[in-house]
Chains A and B, each alone.
Chain A
Amino acid sequence: MPPALKAQGITKRFDAVVALSDGALTVERGEIHALLGANGCGKSTLCKIIAGTVLRDGGSVEVDGAPLEPKRPADAEAAGIALFYQELSLVPQLTVAENIFLGHEPRTRAGFIDRRTLEDDAGRLLGPFKVVAGSGLDLHMPVAHLAPDQRQIVEILKVLARRPRLIIFDEATAALDRRQVEFFFRMLRELKAQSIAMIFISHRLDEVFEICDRITVMRNGATVATYPAAETDVNRVVHAMVGAMTEHLHPPQVERPANEQPRLVVDRARGRRLRDVSLTLRPGEILGLGGLQGQGQSALLRGLFGADSLDSGRVNLDGASLRLRKPADAVHHGIAYVSGDRGRDAALHGRSIFENIAAASFIRERRFLVWPSRLAERFRQAAAALNTKYVGLEAPIGSLSGGNQQKIFIARWLATRPAVLLLDDPTKGIDLAAKADFFDLVQHLAAEGTSILFYSSEDAELLGLCNRILVFNGGTIAAELSGSTMTALHLTRAAYGDAA
């Protein structure tokens, strides 16, 4: 039997940028195949070529033995290929059900949209997810009102609704918490039993080894190796991804005097998703926020940034009480906020990299006149601190890969030299090497005295980086971990509210 997909020698240039020099990928029927590689190595581009949203310059693609020359997405769809977009493609004004069947609405005999069938079918698809999706994921809810993880679930359902034979999941789990991921994997295994072929892109290697049969690694636009997952390990894969690069370990943490005045004190903050949260953050401290997704971590960070209002409670910065009614209040006091939902919260689509970095500096410095040439050097340094890959500051933000875009949005805040850095799951979609750079930088900032509140949906990141971890459950702090209790076991237990 021919493989479900066989792509060979794929090449693609975007003007000066060579996105793919030799992309290759073979996926069998009923196989879950991981596609790994650093940010900007060409994973998304290869998948878009297969799905017909990007035209290839050279190479060949065969689906079940038949050559595929997609001129537009519909051609690939007709061949049974569905792509889960890394950057989401939902229409905010439409409801969950409408989004799921967008462009494929069931029709009545007269040719009108058959709402009854549409909603029944959507309900059937959504049903199993309801348990893990949290409140508000309803068929009739406009997508604009959903949380990021809920939108990602809708995106997954949208793909499934097309009944594809080859599914490409481009960072589909990036916004999901552990429970949702487990559920998602159970679904993948069912699809696998129906001999559907799947490509799975993720920067979380533990997930890859958990679910995938084989692993293909790309580097700099070329496929470098394919391994059966059972016959390889994280080390080999990482080495293949980064080439000859040394391992990144978190550098030792700097001790600071214990009698220092606290930088940030939060006293009984309440809000829509917060119940009496109190905490103290010292200069140079990295304080982790842990727990399952949506337990109030983001609500707290957004509240401290003035983006969502806190109903009550006090916030003190360096001993002075803060009024946080809008983000500008926070920015002027040197508080920075990096969101993990970059498409919605950070990207100035269609604008240049320069503009994307500059945005926050103007506010922080109360700058009115702008001389781009004088600012460029500073922004270049901020971007360089994260090893961002880009052609020039004038290039549009959309020309960067997902991970490199996120680095630009972090650079945006680094350029403001913040005193308090609020990180809201900032490493979503960032590859291992970039994450290592990012963690180095965070620790470097902390050593210089920046205070950091860090929420991550990945426990390993919290455990590896933080001085202490506050575990959230139901909008309040359920436990504080430090010293010997900073273990994965304690973290998981506290997150699930286990007393044991």
Chain B
Amino acid sequence: MARIKTLLAEPLVLASIAILILLAGGELLSPGFARGDQVTRLLTVSAILGIVAAGQSLVVIGGREGIDLSVGVLISLGAFTAGNVMDGVNGAILPAVLAAGGVTFAIGIVNGLGVTLLRIPPLVMTLGMMGVVQGGLVVLSRGAPSGNAAPMLMGFVNQPLLLGFPGILFVWALIAFVMWFLLRRTSFGYAVYAMGSNERAAALTGMPTSLLRTILYGLSGLFAGLTGVCVIGYTGNSFISVGDQYVLPSIIAVVIGGVSLAGGSGNYFGVVLGAIALTLLQSVLTTLQLEFWGRQIIFGAVLLGLMLLYGRQKQLRI
């Protein structure tokens, strides 16, 4: 019994069980929910969330109340930039990706500098950045949808490429590998965990904590920008608030995946499962024909419930 209890407290196990239950529940509610092509579709949507959550998980693991609320507008900015650079031309996809990633990475770095140099709390810094970028986007786009995805990009996101899976899923797999490699096979990753666990101690081993933290926010921006490219590939064109809906889910996916909001623990595989579980939940709720606000309420409740569940086990270490 105690065994089962500890197993259930394991985030990976919990997320896997949630995925199975949601799949079964979805199939019951609407037969065909768990069919092959539907599952591929769900995974594609999960991939988009999973990529932005990769960056989110990095800043959270890095600690000191790390969180990035600007990912939403950076997705929008990434989609806007990519859409305008490629403007429907296949040959311009690569420059579009570079431009979107470059701009959002730079803004992420500014977030990082605010957090490290100016010691602004991450919540405040990234919230402020959200306002600034949102305003900028309105001015640039004059509020109208603009930019077009190139057909090849849309095919890459929506059409089967290999074994029936679209290209974006292979990109996601690659990102998962890169995240694992970065966190477990480079000193950068070890430093991120060290810093998230005890920044003072990490600094006293010589780790350049401010630099590392700045890079983490830069990477979060970069991942958000790439997510923006995927989003425009998914929908075809961009409007200035496409990214907003990803902010809360990116945080919840990270928490479902077992990354402690206190920093210093967790890994990306959990987050991958978290992104899938959350996308499934979203899709089940849509099947139930729940309005947007209803979903937001449930998402919020899930986040709070998880905090309660995981928060309780963290006992004082003596």
With contacts A350-B197, A369-B185 known, is A327 near B204, CB below 8 A?
yes
Chain B stretch 116-169: residues in CB contact (< 8 A) with chain A: none
- Minimal Cβ-Cβ distance residue in B for A355: B190
A124 in the interface, Cβ–Cβ < 8 Å? no
With contacts A331-B205, A359-B207 known, is A48 near B318, CB below 8 A?
yes
With contacts A44-B318, A89-B316 known, is A368 near B204, CB below 8 A?
no
B203 in the interface, Cβ–Cβ < 8 Å? yes
Q: How many contacts between A and B, using CB within 8 angstroms?
A: 96
Report the minimal beta-carbon distance from A355 to chain B, rounded to whole angstroms: 6
Residues of B within 8 A of A53 (CB): 316, 318
Report the minimal beta-carbon distance from B196 to chain A, rounded to whole angstroms: 9
Can you give 11 contacting A-B residue pairs, CB < 8 Å?
A87-B317, A89-B316, A307-B204, A327-B204, A331-B206, A346-B201, A347-B201, A349-B197, A355-B190, A359-B207, A369-B185
Task: Tell me whether B197 and A345 are in contact (CB under 8 A).
Answer: no
CA distance A10 to B204 in the complex (A): 40
CA distance A157 to B87 in the complex (A): 69
With contacts A89-B316, A331-B205, A359-B190 known, is A344 near B264, CB below 8 A?
no
With contacts A349-B264, A359-B190, A371-B185 known, is A86 near B318, CB below 8 A?
yes
Task: Tell me whether A370 and B185 are in contact (CB under 8 A).
Answer: yes
With contacts A351-B264, A368-B187, A369-B185 known, is A326 near B208, CB below 8 A?
yes
A332 in the interface, Cβ–Cβ < 8 Å? yes
A330 in the interface, Cβ–Cβ < 8 Å? yes
CA distance A345 to B204 in the complex (A): 7
Per-residue 0/1 for B179-202: is the Cβ within 8 Å of any A Cβ (1 yes, 0 no)? Answer: 000001111111101100110111
CA distance A370 to B189 in the complex (A): 9
- Minimal Cβ-Cβ distance residue in B for A47: B318
A328 in the interface, Cβ–Cβ < 8 Å? yes
A85 in the interface, Cβ–Cβ < 8 Å? yes
Per-residue 0/1 for A320-358: is the Cβ within 8 Å of any B Cβ (1 yes, 0 no)? Answer: 000000111011100001010000111111110001001
- Minimal Cβ-Cβ distance residue in A for B208: A328
Residues of B within 8 A of A371 (CB): 185
Task: Tell me whether A348 and B193 are in contact (CB under 8 A).
Answer: yes
How many chain A residues have a CB neighbour from B under 8 Å?
A: 39
A263 in the interface, Cβ–Cβ < 8 Å? no
A175 in the interface, Cβ–Cβ < 8 Å? no
Task: Tell me whether A327 and B203 are in contact (CB under 8 A).
Answer: yes
Task: Tell me whether A327 and B205 are in contact (CB under 8 A).
Answer: yes
With contacts A349-B264, A369-B185 known, is A358 near B190, CB below 8 A?
yes
Residues of A within 8 A of B16 (CB): none
B265 in the interface, Cβ–Cβ < 8 Å? yes
Report the minimal beta-carbon distance from A490 to chain B, rounded to whole angstroms: 33
Task: Tell me whether A359 and B186 are in contact (CB under 8 A).
Answer: no
A367 in the interface, Cβ–Cβ < 8 Å? yes
Residues of A within 8 A of B184 (CB): 370
Task: Tell me whether B190 and A362 are in contact (CB under 8 A).
Answer: yes
CA distance A61 to B258 in the complex (A): 38
CA distance A301 to B220 in the complex (A): 37
Residues of A within 8 A of B198 (CB): 344, 347-349
Chain A stretch 94-145: residues in CB contact (< 8 A) with chain B: none
- Minimal Cβ-Cβ distance residue in B for A346: B201
Residues of A within 8 A of B201 (CB): 344-348, 359
A-B pairs, 5 with minimum CB distance: A331-B206, A363-B206, A362-B187, A328-B206, A359-B205
Residues of B within 8 A of A363 (CB): 187, 205-207
Report the minimal beta-carbon distance from A25 to chain B, rounded to whole angstroms: 18
Given A346-B201, A348-B202, A370-B185, output 10 extra A-B contacts at Cβ < 8 Å. Answer: A53-B318, A330-B206, A347-B201, A349-B264, A351-B194, A358-B190, A359-B201, A362-B207, A367-B187, A370-B184
Task: Tell me whether B197 and A360 are in contact (CB under 8 A).
Answer: no
With contacts A48-B318, A355-B193 known, is A368 near B186, CB below 8 A?
yes
Residues of B within 8 A of A412 (CB): 205
Report the minimal beta-carbon distance from B182 to chain A, rounded to whole angstroms: 11
Residues of A within 8 A of B205 (CB): 327, 331, 359-360, 363, 412
Task: Tell me whether A348 and B197 are in contact (CB under 8 A).
Answer: yes
A364 in the interface, Cβ–Cβ < 8 Å? yes
CA distance A462 to B178 in the complex (A): 50
Chain A stretch 217-252: residues in CB contact (< 8 A) with chain B: none
With contacts A44-B318, A331-B206 known, is A362 near B200, CB below 8 A?
no
A464 in the interface, Cβ–Cβ < 8 Å? no
- Minimal Cβ-Cβ distance residue in B for A88: B318
Instruction: Select the residue from A48, A89, A363, A367 with max chain B CB neighbours within 10 A.
Output: A363
- Minimal Cβ-Cβ distance residue in B for A348: B197
Instruction: Select the residue from B185, B190, B206 with max chain A CB neighbours within 10 A.
Output: B206
CA distance A327 to B200 in the complex (A): 11
Partner of A349, one of B186, B190, B317: B317
Report the minimal beta-carbon distance from A88 to chain B, rounded to whole angstroms: 9
Residues of A within 8 A of B265 (CB): 350-351
